[in-house]
Chain A
Amino acid sequence: MNLVEAKQHVNLKVISIEAGGRAQRHMGMGRGAHGMSRHAMPRHMGSRRGLRIQKRLGDMGIREGTIIRKVSQQAFRGPIVVEIGRMRLAIGPFMAAAIKVEEIE
């Protein structure tokens, strides 16, 4: 289950942050930031782009094993608000989809 599908107001444990799919395109690390098109980018950079999501979430304190709560979710694939400890964070839907979680007690 990913963060978009997860229930609100229950404790969720982050199992993994998937470094791939559409999310990384929405992290601002596609062609613009490197100054080259996605196709021209050397293959090894693919994994680096994936790491960007993990890094940015990590900088804010979200990594494997973190307990978070979903507070609200805007309609029509809008941003999702999560709570980590006493911090609240707005996360876009593609990035949220990359965060795999499970419900815990």
Chain B
Amino acid sequence: MIKKILLMGNPNVGKSAIFTRLTSVRVIVSNYPGTTVEFTRGSIRLDRKKVEVIDAPGTYTLDPDSPAEKVAANLLKENDPKETVIVSIVDSTNLERNLNLTLELLSAGFPTIVVLNFWDETAHKGITIDVDRLSDLLNVKVITTVGITGKGIKELKENLNNAKPSDFNVPKEQRWNTIGNIVKEIQTVKHHHHTFLQGLEEASTHPVAGFPIALIVLFVSFYVIRFIGEGLIRWVFEPLFNNLWAPVLMKISTLLTHSGFWHNILIGNLVNGEIDFFQSFGILSTGLYIPIGAVLPYIFSFYLILSLLEDIGYLPRLAILLDRLMHQIGIHGMGFIPMLLGLGCNVPGALATRIMETRKERFISATVMAIAVPCMAQIAMIFGLLGKYGFRGFAPLFGTLFIVWLVLGKIMAKFVRGESPEIFTEIPPYRFPYFTSLFKKVWMRVQWFLKEALPFVLLGVLLVNLLYTFGVIDFLSRIFGPGLSKILGLPPAAIAALLIGFLRKDVAVGMLAPLGLSMGQLITASVVLTMYFPCVATFVVLTRELGFRDMLKSAIIMVVSAFFVGWILNLIY
């Protein structure tokens, strides 16, 4: 009786797409190797029985080289061949390399089904594969699929119950020869002319042309993100909050007689008798405005562009172009992916450090990401506060963070023990994104933000009010305030923002709004808030990924460098 189905395959062969189709559990699907670093569980019904399905991280071999691959290899060891079916997913445009893992899987003795995914692409690329012959040779069922559209999934489901172990077993030394012979027998490739996409592929990793292309892509991305983000705020969310929500809140305010404990908690302070969504700081006013009015539009626009770049397959190319730069901080080009994901939210960024092979690389990439990469929620709030200064405000802020990233990275590259291996990664072909799956992915990420962030923001705002009400913040600013003013040049009340920054950085930046800071102070405060410590969600994930001791080291680096850099900024401004 089968109890478990393991989806295994090389990186970037579409395991997650097939998993989503099988189980309707949604997972992130992208066009670069290493999207899935943890296994995801889901379930399907087979003959009215619930069967667990596991989406394993991609691996080239059962003898692993990176932690993500180890997760996949361990899955096999932990499961019983009598109760487990393996679905070996193969990129049908890349049979030869993919069959290596398939043969390894077959010799493990599990009942197996081989799935040839990306079947639609074989036609474009002039490849024909004799599926029946492959099935005969390997002595297992072979099914062709297009994971992202769902083609062939039904057939896969119907065959899961009849999966049998194969008697196909070749010794390790002869495996590649055997694969060569199999491929020769079943596959014919027609030579065909270069397509437009292939031309682009060449250009985007060209040592000269690649850089202007990358600059244009990044520049356009940044502008589109800001255009959509600001557009949504100005034309949708601000009117909604000002015209619909504010009158409701004013009624509640009147009911509460404009003052008192509950008024402070729910509505906050009225500014000139009106609600100011940035400054009032009640749960229903600022507490809702920060996540929904100010941050959500940017989360949406950032993930829209990121998902588009992911699905097209541009990120690994950018990793190649940036490889030299990344080696300055002791990690190779793929280390750029955790940084980029961290720009959306540091939590997935921290998880993505698993695509790096060594402990040294993971330590450096996680630490510099947590220190110098602000998340989109925080950036959106910074845009809100510094927006009126334009470039004059943003340039010193992001410039400082970049310098910190580079200098700290360089220092760590020198002193952290361990190896910095070179880049060694597959580069997927460019693919036209499927827009339904693209929007599903964006929606998933937005949902994730609402589910994970919204409660914390509300909690943060509640906590701010309670701490003020019970005089904790006054107490703390009396003790730490003078030192804070001396080192960072910030008013004593800014200590509250540093306190709340541990919970949510966007709320912390929001707390700067009522303080009436100058541009220099805002820049200093934003930089310190980015650097001094990760938010609690990131902290938990980092501790899990790095281990307690390394997290402690990382935290010391964060606190020390944050106050040092803040002090220097204070001297400048």
A-to-B contact residues, CB < 8 Å? 25-33, 55-56, 58-61, 63, 71-79, 81, 84-95
Contact = CB atoms under 8 A, between A and B. Distances in A.
A90 B322 CA distance: 12
Contact of B418 (A31, A55, A63, A90): A31
Contacts of A77: 324
Given A27-B419, A60-B60, A88-B429, 11 more contacts: A28-B420, A29-B419, A33-B418, A56-B65, A59-B61, A60-B426, A75-B208, A86-B94, A87-B426, A88-B426, A92-B421
Contacts, number: 119
Nearest first, the 6 A-B pairs at minimum CB distance are A92-B422, A32-B418, A28-B421, A59-B60, A61-B97, A88-B427
B421 A26 contact: yes
B63 interface: yes
Contact of B419 (A28, A72, A79, A92): A28
B423 A90 contact: yes
B178 to A, nearest CB: 13
Nearest to A91: B424
Interface of B: 60-61, 63, 65, 93-94, 96-97, 100, 125, 176, 201-202, 205-208, 210, 316, 319-321, 323-324, 332-333, 357-361, 417-427, 429
B425 A63 contact: no
A63 B96 CA distance: 13
Nearest to A9: B202
A79 B94 contact: no
Contacts of A33: 358, 418-419
Nearest to B121: A86
18 contacts: A26-B420, A26-B422, A29-B419, A31-B418, A32-B358, A32-B419, A60-B426, A61-B97, A61-B100, A61-B176, A72-B205, A74-B210, A74-B323, A79-B320, A81-B205, A86-B93, A88-B201, A90-B320
Chain A interface main SS type: mixed
A102 to B, nearest CB: 20
Given A73-B207, A74-B207, A95-B424, A87 B94 contact: yes
A28 B425 CA distance: 14
A76 to B, nearest CB: 6
Contact of A55 (B63, B125, B316, B358): B63
Contacts of A90: 316, 319-320, 323, 333, 423-427
A13 to B, nearest CB: 14
A88 to B, nearest CB: 4
Nearest to A83: B427
A88 B197 CA distance: 14
Contacts of A95: 422, 424
Most buried by A among B205, B210, B321, B332: B205
B125 A71 contact: no
Given A33-B358, A72-B205, A89 B426 contact: yes
A98 B361 CA distance: 23
A94 B419 contact: no
Given A79-B422, A89-B425, A91-B423, A61 B96 contact: yes
Contacts of B208: 75
A58 B424 CA distance: 12
A81 B426 CA distance: 9
B357 A28 contact: yes
A58 B319 CA distance: 23
A72 B202 contact: yes
